[in-house]
Amino acid sequence: MFKNIFDQKNRILLKKILYWGLGIKRWILLGAIGVLIVSTGISYTVKNVFNLWIPDILPGIWEGIIVGIFGIIILLFAAWGLLQSIAPILFRIRGVQEITTAIYDRRSREKGPRIVVIGGGTGLSTLLKGIKEYSDNISAIVTVTDEGGSSGRLRRDFSIIPPGDFRKCLVALSSDKLLGDVFEHRFTKGKGIEGHSLGNLFLTALTEITGNFEEALGQSLQVLGIHGKILPSTPIPLQLSATMSDGSQIIGETKIANNANEIKHVSVTPENPHGYIPAIEAINQADLVIVGPGSLFTSILPNLLVPDIREAIHKTKATSLYVSNVANEPGETTNFNLADYIETLEKHTEQNIIDYILVHNNDIQSQKKSLPASLAEAYDAKIIFEDVVDNENILIHDPKKLAKAIIDLYYSNTT
């Protein structure tokens, strides 16, 4: 019987139930103390009310101790009997296992590292899907240069920060698939509503109700029961401009992304915008700062062109990491190698702004050879090669693989 009750699977479940910080052991202890106090109280009450004669074999204080010990013995005996009776059934109830695991995971995430992720678009939401399994203390800092599609229309019509990338972050951090599908639903017909996603309209409506976009984001997180924060890099929408290899100037994120010419440099208007204070504070208080993955020129760099954000990353004591893309994007990073990504990042920011660079390990030697001597020396021990690609689509990151590689790197630097 003992073997069946305490097999390996049940021991793991019991260990999770009694895991430090779950808030279970304290209540068990309190309950036991309560039972002992009540038992002692009843004992003295019965003795005094009924004037029972008990030989004064021991002094009064020992009388209470004996009663308490007797109560503990009974309590342990009852608990052991209860365990023997219900354990074979309890440990096989799926609901009990799920609830225990959920409590264990939630408490673990509540104590997880303070993580800041910086970017935009699909790359940022991909990372959030994986990293949310390791911590509830996540702050996503999102670019505000989008001016195409539904986001662009709402930006122009309502003079708000474009909501599209923020919607993607809400969906990524949510654990409710149906909710995600609803937020991502895009209307295919209807005058004025065609082309809009429901999530974008939701954020726009909340912005009008609350009075500002940042408050709308905070309320959205509460309404949807999402842990963490989603913050703009700057409280005003920015316009992205690019200087191309032929010397031409292109204005607008969408036009830049769709242009076939090589991009030499990007900038934002207004120039040198102030960073959003909560975003700066999040970086200052972070344990881990992650830049990327995502479109280098249109999702990553616009955040780093905000001086306050750039300076906070440079000064942070947190472990900082840049996640390089697993595939180049036509137009933006056509024919880019690892050296091109690093040099572009440094050209728009400063040298050694990032502690580590995470790269997919598909062709390590050729990627190392692409580095000029100066970069090879500077980043020799800072480039981490890991398998982070999706097995079914080699052009994108796998959220779970990516998150695990990042968390493993973080804990290897903190232990």
For 395-411, what is each residue's pLDDT tens digit?
999 999 999 999 999 99
Cβ neighbors of 358 (< 8 A, separation 6 or more) are 321, 322, 323, 324, 384, 386, 388, 402, 405, 406, 409
3-state secondary structure 172-240: HHCCCHHHHHHHHCECCCCCCCCCCEHHHHHHHHHHHHHCCHHHHHHHHHHHCCCCCEEEECCCCCCEE
Sequence letter at residue 341: Y
- Tell me how far apart the alpha carbons of residues 117 and 293 are, in angstroms, rounded to a whole number: 9
Annotate 20-88 with DSSP letters as a single string: TTSSSHHHHHHHHHHHHHHHHHHHHHHHHHTT------S-HHHHHHHHHHHHHHHHHHHHHHHHHHHHH
Domain boundaries, the chain: 2-108, 112-144+233-239+271-414
Instruction: Judge whether residue 103 has pLDDT over 80.
Output: no
**β 263-269/239-244 pair status:** antiparallel
pLDDT at 55 (0 to 100): 55
pLDDT in tens, 65-101: 666 676 677 667 666 665 665 555 455 555 555 655 6
No. of helices (H) and no. of strands (E), the chain: 19, 10
Instruction: Judge whether residue 9 has pLDDT over 50.
Output: yes
DSSP code at position 381: T
- Tell me how far apart the alpha carbons of residues 196 and 200 are, in angstroms, rounded to a whole number: 7
Residue 257 near residue 240, CB atoms below 8 Å: no
pLDDT at 365 (0 to 100): 72
With cut-offs at 50, 70 and 90, classify the pLDDT of residue 60.
Answer: low
Instruction: Judge whether residue 57 has pLDDT over 80.
Output: no
Instruction: Judge whether residue 102 has pLDDT over 70.
Output: no
Q: Six-digit token pair at 88? A: 């074979």
Lowest mean pLDDT among 123-137, 161-175, 326-340: 326-340
Q: What are phi and psi of 227, to 5 degrees?
A: -90, 150
Q: Which residue has the tokens 């949807």?
A: 224
pLDDT at 2 (0 to 100): 47
Q: Six-digit token pair at 29? A: 């202890």
**β 239-244/249-251 pair status:** antiparallel
pLDDT at 180 (0 to 100): 87
Third-level CATH fold of 112-144+233-239+271-414: Rossmann fold (3.40.50)
With cut-offs at 50, 70 and 90, classify the pLDDT of residue 130.
Answer: very high
pTM over 0.75: yes
Q: What percent of the chain shows pLDDT beyond 70?
A: 76
Average pLDDT, stretch 229-257?
Answer: 95
Instruction: Judge whether residue 366 has pLDDT over 90.
Output: no
With cut-offs at 50, 70 and 90, classify the pLDDT of residue 241.
Answer: very high
